[in-house]
Structures are given as structure tokens and as C-alpha cells.
């Protein structure tokens, strides 16, 4: 199951003042694991002051470039992105999971499709991978990119995009929308809002021609664009979102950990009975579930969904106090009787006795 692999940093190129493009190389034996589809991302992990941070960054290379690169834009206060921009160097190693994500459509070499892309800031990264791949693998398709940034100096992959324009003359069009810089055409200055979308549709984009639209950027921008696309007749199946994992409270680990810490930090002595055998081990009270700890201690504890839904991991707490994050499977009377879903069960007291056999 554990899915992190070590990648070697073979190149770091500064793209803008606060963004780098990092080239990564998997081990010979793990090359297959890093085969990717355009538009996918890598999730990295690293310890910062004893706390593991996981961050996802999109791959910016196309399928035919034969290498793996991610774009990392530095964010104020962002530990991982600041570290990657300031301290990461060639020869370092990074832990990453195999590529994931579904921000793509199937390639059809014989098709003549019209794609429309909207990117805001570093949202360009997966879109760039898609543009490069689609233009190379679908010789009859075309791509129009609307790319929003604050100013010229903050445009990521500016030169790469210019190169693509030259290489795919007539098949790739690029419109830069700059928030704080006036341009020859008023339409291209400011933010992408409903009014600007109307103008774009009136003057530059033929909505009826569009097969698929890709959007990656800040949430409000994505909603505005999606609303506008829908009102111009595009169906949900033609609109592909890629959300910044950014401001979303996606990581259950931290809040849980802090709760657990507040309740009594340190470690917990756990005793688990399974199939008539009892095993004792110690686990950190850092938000890890009893199930994860039991599996880590080589117990064959039962589980299936790991989301508090299926109840395969049901166990009974004989002694001690635990907290259950999510419970969709147990009835109230079962909870009163001391049953828990061990995949959702975080120790609170310093000692916990649990049985899967009851």
C-alpha cells in the first residue's frame, strides 16, 4: 500500500522570481510507476520541524518530453514551496507518490477537436502539460488558452508558451489577461469576471466549436468561468475543473492531531485482540487511527473502506477513551455499547484496550 517513492532532483530552473521548475528522475526500477497522463500531479511529503507536510504539484511536461517536471510557485508562508524555491538543490531526493489525477480527456490522434483552457497563476502547470500533449498527439486539434496573471513578470512558463505558439502556428492561440498592467486591448486587462467572459465569447471564442474546456485556477475564477461556459451551451461533461488543493481543509490529520494533543499528548499504550490473540504496542497520539497503528504493527486487522462507511473494521473499546472522526456505519446503540470504527478511532487516553472479536 505505502506509496511513496524516492525521486532525484536532476535540474532546477528558475522560471519567475518566485517559481521554479524542478526536474525529477525516478529510480531505474520505478520508472513505470511514474508513467503519467497529461494533467496529472505528484504528491510530495517532507518533514518540517518534525511535522510531515504533504503537498501536490502538477506535472508541467507533455507526454512526449521524456521527463518529469513540476512547477512550484512560492507562496508567502508556505513551508514547502518556500523550501523548494530557496533551498532545494540538484542531487537532493524528494519523496513522491505515483502520478494521480483525472484532469484530462482521452487522446484521439485522428480527431480534430477544439480545446479551450483557462488558467490562473500557477494553475497553468497542468494546463501546459495538456496543451503540449494534445497539440503533439492530436495533429488536427487546436487549443485556445486564456491565461490570467497579475503582471507580465509573474507569468509562469511565458517562454515555453511563446515557443508553442511558434511551433504550432494556427493551432495554438494564447490570450494573456493581466490584472495590473494595461495592454493594447482593454479586454485583456483586469480580472476574469462575467463581463469579460461575455466579451471573450463575443469577440474571440466560438462556444459552439468548443469540445472540452479545462479550468485550473482560484475557486471564484473557476466558478465564474464555468457559469459562463454553461450559459453558452457547454454541458458539465465538457467542462473539466482542476481545483487547487490550496485553501481546502483537505487534511484531516492536522485538526485531529491537535485535538488529540490537547486531550493528552504523547503516546498511548494499545492492546488489540484479534482472532483470540492479544498484541500490545505503543502508538503516537498524533492523529493516527488505531487501525493504522495495528496494521503498522503487523496485525492483520480487518478493514475495507477506511472512511467510516463500511463497518468492516468495527471493534469494541474495552478500556480507555477514543474519539471517532466519522461514523456512517454504526447505529447509536452500537456506539453506546462501546463499538467503534477502528479506521476512524483516535486514542485520547494513555491506555486503550480494543477487541475485534466481540
Partner 1 sequence: MTSEAILPQDDAMSLSDYLERGGKLTSPENVSPRYRGELLRLMSSFVDSELAGSAGFADAINWAPGLKERIAASRITLEKVDHAERVLDLMSEFGTDKTLYNKTHAWSARQPRDARIDPKRQGGDMRLSVFHYPLESWPDAVVMNTLMGMGTVYQLEEQALTSYQPLGEIFREILPREKRHMELGLEGLQHLVEDDATRAEVQTSVNYWLPRVAETFGPAQSDRFERMKKLGLRHTDNETLRAAWKADAEARLAELKLG
Question: How many angstroms separate the Cα of 238 from the Cα of each of 5, 106, 354?
Answer: 34, 12, 49
Least distance from C-beta 145 to partner 1, angstroms?
16
- CA 119 from chain centre, in angstroms, equals 16
Q: Does 73 bind partner 1 (CB under 8 A)?
A: yes
Question: How many angstroms separate the Cα of 193 from the Cα of each of 119, 147, 226, 243, 250?
Answer: 13, 13, 11, 18, 27
CA distance 129 to 123: 11
Interface segment toward partner 1; rule CB under 8 A; list 87-95, 120-128, 196-204, 265-273:
120-128
Q: Are 342 and 289 in contact, with CB atoms under 8 Å apart?
A: yes
Q: Give, as one character, the DSSP assignment of residue 294.
A: H
- Judged by CB under 8 A, the number of residues near partner 1 is 62
Would you call 232 helix, strand, or coil by DSSP? Answer: coil
Q: Which is nearer to partner 1, 167 or 328 (CB)?
A: 328
Q: Which of 58, 141, 228, 288 binds partner 1 (CB under 8 A)?
A: 58
Question: How many angstroms separate the Cα of 97 from the Cα of each of 58, 305, 339?
Answer: 12, 20, 34
Residues for the chain: how many in total?
358
Q: Does 304 bind partner 1 (CB under 8 A)?
A: yes
Per the listing, cell 531526493 goes with: 93
Q: Which is nearer to partner 1, 141 or 224 (CB)?
A: 224
Least distance from C-beta 281 to partner 1, angstroms?
21
Q: Are 73 and 86 in contact, with CB atoms under 8 Å apart?
A: no
Q: Does 41 bind partner 1 (CB under 8 A)?
A: yes
Residues of span 226-255 touching partner 1 by CB under 8 A: 226-227, 236-237, 240-250, 252
Q: Which is nearer to partner 1, 87 or 237 (CB)?
A: 237
Q: Are 65 and 254 in contact, with CB atoms under 8 Å apart?
A: no
CA angle 304, 308, 310 (to 5 degrees): 45
Q: Does 99 bind partner 1 (CB under 8 A)?
A: no
Q: Which of 34, 36, 80, 118 binds partner 1 (CB under 8 A)?
A: 80
Q: Does 190 bind partner 1 (CB under 8 A)?
A: no
Q: Give, as one character, the DSSP assignment of residue 190.
A: S
Q: Does 147 bind partner 1 (CB under 8 A)?
A: no
Q: Which of 112, 185, 223, 335 binds partner 1 (CB under 8 A)?
A: 223
Interface segment toward partner 1; rule CB under 8 A; list 7-15, 20-28, 69-77, 258-266:
69-77
Q: Does 137 bind partner 1 (CB under 8 A)?
A: no
Q: Does 4 bind partner 1 (CB under 8 A)?
A: no
Q: Does 57 bind partner 1 (CB under 8 A)?
A: yes
Q: Which of 55, 69, 132, 158 binds partner 1 (CB under 8 A)?
A: 55
Interface segment toward partner 1; rule CB under 8 A; list 28-36, 97-105, 132-140, 164-172:
97-105
Q: What is the largest CA-CA distance in the chain?
A: 78
- CA 181 from chain centre, in angstroms, equals 31
CA distance 334 to 323: 15
Q: Which of 26, 99, 126, 287 binds partner 1 (CB under 8 A)?
A: 126
Would you call 313 helix, strand, or coil by DSSP? Answer: coil
Binding residues for partner 1 (CB under 8 A): 41, 43, 54-58, 71-73, 75, 78, 80-81, 100-103, 121-123, 125-126, 216, 218-223, 226-227, 236-237, 240-250, 252, 302-312, 314, 325-326, 328-329
Amino acid at each position: 500500500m505505502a506509496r511513496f517513492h524516492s525521486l532525484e532532483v536532476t535540474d532546477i530552473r528558475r522560471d519567475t522570481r518566485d517559481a521554479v521548475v524542478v526536474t525529477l528522475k525516478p529510480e531505474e526500477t520505478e520508472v513505470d510507476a511514474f508513467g503519467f497522463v497529461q494533467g496529472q500531479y505528484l504528491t510530495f511529503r517532507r518533514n518540517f520541524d518534525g511535522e510531515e507536510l504533504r503537498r501536490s504539484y502538477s506535472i508541467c511536461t507533455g507526454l512526449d518530453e521524456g521527463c518529469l517536471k513540476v512547477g512550484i510557485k512560492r507562496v508567502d508562508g508556505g513551508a514547502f514551496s518556500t523550501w523548494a524555491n530557496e533551498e532545494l538543490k540538484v542531487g537532493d531526493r524528494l519523496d513522491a507518490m505515483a502520478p494521480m489525477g483525472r484532469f484530462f480527456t482521452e487522446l484521439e490522434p485522428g480527431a480534430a477537436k477544439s480545446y479551450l483552457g483557462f488558467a490562473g497563476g500557477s494553475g497553468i502547470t497542468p494546463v501546459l502539460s495538456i496543451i503540449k500533449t494534445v497539440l503533439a498527439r492530436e495533429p488536427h486539434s487546436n487549443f485556445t488558452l486564456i491565461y490570467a496573471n497579475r503582471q507580465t513578470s509573474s507569468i509562469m512558463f511565458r517562454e515555453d508558451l511563446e515557443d508553442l505558439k511558434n511551433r504550432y502556428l494556427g493551432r495554438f492561440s494564447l490570450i494573456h489577461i493581466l490584472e495590473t498592467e494595461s495592454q493594447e486591448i482593454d479586454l485583456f486587462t483586469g480580472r476574469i469576471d462575467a463581463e469579460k467572459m461575455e466579451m471573450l465569447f463575443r469577440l474571440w471564442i466560438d462556444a459552439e466549436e468548443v469540445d472540452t474546456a479545462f479550468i485550473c485556477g482560484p475557486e471564484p475564477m473557476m466558478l465564474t468561468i464555468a457559469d459562463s461556459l454553461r450559459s453558452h451551451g457547454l454541458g458539465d461533461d465538457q467542462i473539466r475543473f482542476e481545483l487547487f488543493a490550496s485553501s481546502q481543509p483537505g487534511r484531516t490529520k492536522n485538526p485531529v492531531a491537535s485535538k488529540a494533543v490537547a486531550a493528552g499528548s504523547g503516546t498511548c499504550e494499545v492492546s488489540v485482540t484479534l482472532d483470540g490473540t492479544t498484541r500490545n504496542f505503543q502508538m503516537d497520539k498524533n492523529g493516527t487511527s488505531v487501525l493504522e497503528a495495528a496494521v503498522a504493527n503487523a496485525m492483520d486487522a480487518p478493514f475495507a473502506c477506511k472512511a467510516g462507511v463500511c463497518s468492516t473494521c468495527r471493534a469494541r473499546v474495552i478500556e480507555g477513551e477514543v474519539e471517532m472522526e466519522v461514523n456512517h456505519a454504526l447505529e447509536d446503540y452500537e456506539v453506546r455499547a462501546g463499538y467503534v470504527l477502528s479506521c476512524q478511532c483516535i486514542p485520547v487516553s494513555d491506555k486503550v484496550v480494543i477487541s475485534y472479536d466481540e
